């Protein structure tokens, strides 16, 4: 039913990325325990949410005494990018049944999306190989983190590995001046807002950053809105967006992993 050679190709292509995911999984497990999550909730989070950055954001906020509703809302903001992946990959999933599309969507990650979206023809077997390898790696490493988390002394300050992990993700996300503006505004507002009620500083920072990046792009780029739509395989009225970018600030603009 599923082409085994294509599945193995997916596993092979995602393998180097698993090395990058394993430390995130370990950190997510260790940090959840340090933040006071019971082991079964920490593992359940990896199964239900299955998204590293969002899980780490949740853990960070709950561990810092943040309001549960703000923590959940922040995790959802972090995961907004899946709307974009979903729109972008929808044509390739179109041929499969609703049940298959549900499973394929649940397994969606930055890595499986990025590997699959550039392929032609039927993608299910290849995507499953890459996505299931990611899923298994994520579950195994978070369980391992949960198991060792309890025995690590707090003097090691291992919770600092969480912001360091975000930093490693931030570097490739800043790919031009507009995204740099988004990062600077987001970081500044979140830092100034640390004392805000309900730990809302993070959410305020994220929204300010998105606004700053958008304003910067609107002032410095030609037709950035149509270009963004084009990058997710979108809008019909994108005649301008097919032109080669000429401004250096536009290089790689709109490309998201």
Partner 1 sequence: MTDATTLWAVVVVAGVGTLAFRLSFVMLFGRLDSIPPRLAFALRFVPAAVLAALVAPAVLGPLALDPTATTLADQVPRLVAGVVAVVVAWRTGNVFATIGGGMVTLWLVGAAVAAL
Judged by CB under 8 A, the chain residues 193 through 222 that form the site for partner 1 are 193-195, 201-202, 205-210, 212-214, 217
Distance CA(142)–CA(27), nearest Å, equals: 8
Report the alpha-carbon distance of residue 241 to residue 184 in Å, rounded. 27
Complex with partner 1: residue 8 or 95, whichever CB lies closer? 95
> Which of the stretches 34-42, 117-125, 141-149, 242-250 binds partner 1 when contact is defined by CB under 8 A?
34-42
Among 9, 114, 198, 234, binds partner 1 (CB under 8 A): 234
Residue 244 is a binding residue for partner 1 (CB under 8 A): no
Q: Which two tokens stand for residue 92?
A: 């390739």
Q: Give the C-alpha distances (Å, rounded to integers) separating 87 from 40, 128, 205.
A: 33, 18, 26
Pick out residues in 74-93 that bind partner 1 (CB under 8 A). Answer: 75-91, 93
Report the residue from 25, 28, 37, 146 that binds partner 1 according to the rule CB under 8 A. 37
**99 to 128: interface string for partner 1, x by CB under 8 A:** --xx-xxx-x--------------------
- DSSP secondary-structure letter at 234? -
Kindly give the interhelix angle for 68-78 and 52-63, rounded to the nearest 10 degrees. Answer: 160
Q: How many CB atoms lie within 10 A of CB 244?
A: 5
Least CB distance from residue 160 to partner 1, whole Å?
Answer: 6
When binding is defined by CB under 8 A, the residue of 117, 140, 143, 184 that contacts partner 1 is 184
Of 83 and 136, which has the nearer Cβ to partner 1?
83
* 3-class SS of residue 51: coil
Tell whether residue 31 is a contact of partner 1 (CB under 8 A). Answer: no
* DSSP per-residue letters across 137-191: HHHHHHHHHHHHHTTS-GGG-GGGHHHHHHHHHHHHH--SHHHHHHHHHHHHHHH
Q: Tell which residue, 228, 188, 181, has the closest CA to residue 205.
A: 188
Residues between 150 and 179 that touch partner 1 (CB under 8 A):
156-158, 160-174, 178-179
Site for partner 1 in 53-72 (CB under 8 A): 53-54, 56-58, 60, 62, 68, 71-72
């Amino acid at each position: 039913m599923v082409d085994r050679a294509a599945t193995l190709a997916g596993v092979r292509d995602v393998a180097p990325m698993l090395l990058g995911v394993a430390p995130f999984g370990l950190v997510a497990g260790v940090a959840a325990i340090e933040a006071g999550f019971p082991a079964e909730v920490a593992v359940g989070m990896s199964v239900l949410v299955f998204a590293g950055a969002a899980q780490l954001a949740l853990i960070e906020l709950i561990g810092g005494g943040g309001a549960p509703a703000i923590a959940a809302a922040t995790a959802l903001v972090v995961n907004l990018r899946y709307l974009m992946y979903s729109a972008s990959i929808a044509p390739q999933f179109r041929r499969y049944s609703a049940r298959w599309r549900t499973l394929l969507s649940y397994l969606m990650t930055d890595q499986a999306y990025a590997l699959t979206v550039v392929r032609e023809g039927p993608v299910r077997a290849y995507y499953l190989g890459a996505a299931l390898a990611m899923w298994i790696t994520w579950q195994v490493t978070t369980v391992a983190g949960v198991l060792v988390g309890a025995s690590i002394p707090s003097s090691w300050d291992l919770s600092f590995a969480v912001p360091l992990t975000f930093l490693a993700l931030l570097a490739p996300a800043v790919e031009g001046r507009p995204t740099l503006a988004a990062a600077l505004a987001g970081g500044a507002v979140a830092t100034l807002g640390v004392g805000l009620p309900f730990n809302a500083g993070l959410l305020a920072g994220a929204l300010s950053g998105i606004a700053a990046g958008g304003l910067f792009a609107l002032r410095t780029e030609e037709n950035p809105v149509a270009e963004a739509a084009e990058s997710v395989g979108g809008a019909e009225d994108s005649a301008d967006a097919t032109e080669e970018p000429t401004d250096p600030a536009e290089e790689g603009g709109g490309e998201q992993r």
